[in-house]
Amino acid sequence: MKGRSRVSLQHHLIRIGLLMSAVAALLIWLALRTEVMYGDGLRYVAQAQAIEQGSWSEAVARAVDHPAYPLAIATVHRLSGGNGPIAWQAAAQAASMIVGVLLVIPLYLFALELYGTPTAWLACVLTFLVPLTGHVLADVLAEGTFLLFWMTGCWTALRFLRDGRTVWLVATIVFAGLAYMTRPEGLLLPLALTGTLGLMVCRPGLRFPWPMWGRAVLLLSAGPLLLAGPYVVLKGGIGTKPAVARLLGLSARSPAMAVERERPLDPNQSTLTTYVVAGRAVARAVLGAVSPPLLVLAIVSLFAAGGNTDRGRKDLFLALILVGWLLALVRLHATGGYCTPRHALIFALPALAAAAKGLDFLVDRLTARFFAGATARGRAQLSGAMIGICLGAGMVLYGRDLIAPINPGFRGYRQAGEWLAAHSPRDARVLDLKGWATFYGERAGYTFEELAQAEHDPGLGWIVAHDALLIGPWYYCEALRRVVGDRSPVQSFPAVRRPEIAQVHIFEVSGRLARAGSMPAPDSRRR
């Protein structure tokens, strides 16, 4: 038995090592083909810079984002060195890629715990076969760090629900705390586990012995409070992002023309319509994060579920997480007007593990039905060949998107920033609503929050904007048109308009207050 255990462990380690190597190759390839970092990454880099400079009050107490990922960026940057925006972007991407590679471990263990050995490696492959996963983990985003802690906490929670051992519950609380220190939704993990303990009381077949149950409830009541409590007190709430307050009903929904909204809100729209629209947006986000074929396979896995007691506890726990997060996303869109596929990753990762089980289940059924006379080894080889064919079809379907450059549509902002660095004084003030040009050009600037201040700044030197910002219906587009006036751009990137690429214009502000009028956007066709 010991020999078999050692071989089994070696088998798992080899698979995990090969998967991590493949993921590392994918993420490095994507990082090398990054045009510009995602807009949220600018905040994380600024927070990391504050941490490196020792400005802890700025980096933690007053920062919008939780500090775990910026702390990782600052650590990598200190180890790698270098100055300037490219060095910081590289450090931020390296921090994200490192945790992205490590994410393979809890993904494998999570699927192994739920569905067994044949599914564990396949769950990892399907997760990274979806293009969104690699693009998020190779970008400057906190999702990789969050998901590493989150999925590890989910795995330890499943281990706890199997046998009730306290060590696994303590580990779950610790990883939930680390997830919360990355993103506020980390609190969903202990809440879902607490809900599972509460509901299992109603099902005698799922219930833990009372002493074990009481100890678990006590730990789940005190543990998260001890870990997250000081940070909550420091911040004055579980999170300072406006979305958190709106989600919890502590503030009104975002204005009809808010920056974060996907489209302007109809002021006469009923509450029912608002939630119907939100539900559709969440469905699109889930399809983008999982993909339609894999979502179908995830549904198929429901027919392969086991009926043992610990599996019932695990299913209850996962159902609370998945349903709870879907409801949170609906609420997010209803109050904030946005929901993207990367917001659905909490739902997507368990769903992709289920899709692996669904695929394995279908293949087993097909081989058992059509090749019943084959030997066990022969059926195993046929099953492996069929799964290989399915993965090959997936590569054909998703391969081009899987290795596509990151954020190619806004590469002009990086070129604009480099142009400003070469052609403007170091103390030039730049109005750049997106913030990319000022980051890559290392210039002080105004973004959305300071737009009103920029409008009345006689020392404003430059304006950087792409076409959609100059012709859009939003309030900030109107303000931008007022500031630009009738000027023509001094430089545009790319110089010639190209499909799917935003043309970014640089305007020089000279004698701005003496000039009036409004400027139609260069070639005012909306992109």
Tens of pLDDT along 110-163? 999 999 988 999 999 999 999 999 999 999 999 999 999 999 999 999 999 999
Predicted pLDDT of residue 306? 60
The SS3 of residue 508 is strand
Predicted pLDDT of residue 198? 94
Residues contacting 177, CB < 8 A, separation 6+: 186, 223, 224, 227, 228
Let me know: does 182 contact 60? Beta carbons within 8 Å.
no
Predicted pLDDT of residue 308? 59
Residue 445: HSE in the Cβ half-sphere, 13 Å Cα cutoff: 25
The CA distance from 44 to 435, in Å, is 13
Strand order in the sheet with 504-508: 444-446, 429-432, 460-466, 504-508, 491-493
Quickly tell me which residue has 């609503």 as its tokens. 433
For residue 258, the 8-state DSSP code is: -
Predicted pLDDT of residue 305? 63
pLDDT greater than 70 at residue 326: yes
Tens of pLDDT along 332-377? 999 999 999 999 999 999 999 999 999 999 998 888 777 776 777 7
Predicted pLDDT of residue 465? 96
pLDDT greater than 60 at residue 235: yes
Predicted pLDDT of residue 251? 84
Confidence class for position 521, pLDDT limits 50, 70, 90: very low
The SS3 of residue 426 is coil
> What are residue 505's phi and psi, to 5 degrees?
-110, 145
More confident site: 470 or 7: 470
Q: Which of 108, 125, 110, 93 lies closest to 11, judged by CA? A: 108
pLDDT greater than 50 at residue 268: yes
pLDDT greater than 70 at residue 166: yes
Predicted pLDDT of residue 517? 37
Predicted pLDDT of residue 370? 76
Let me know: does 172 contact 164? Beta carbons within 8 Å.
no
pLDDT greater than 50 at residue 5: no
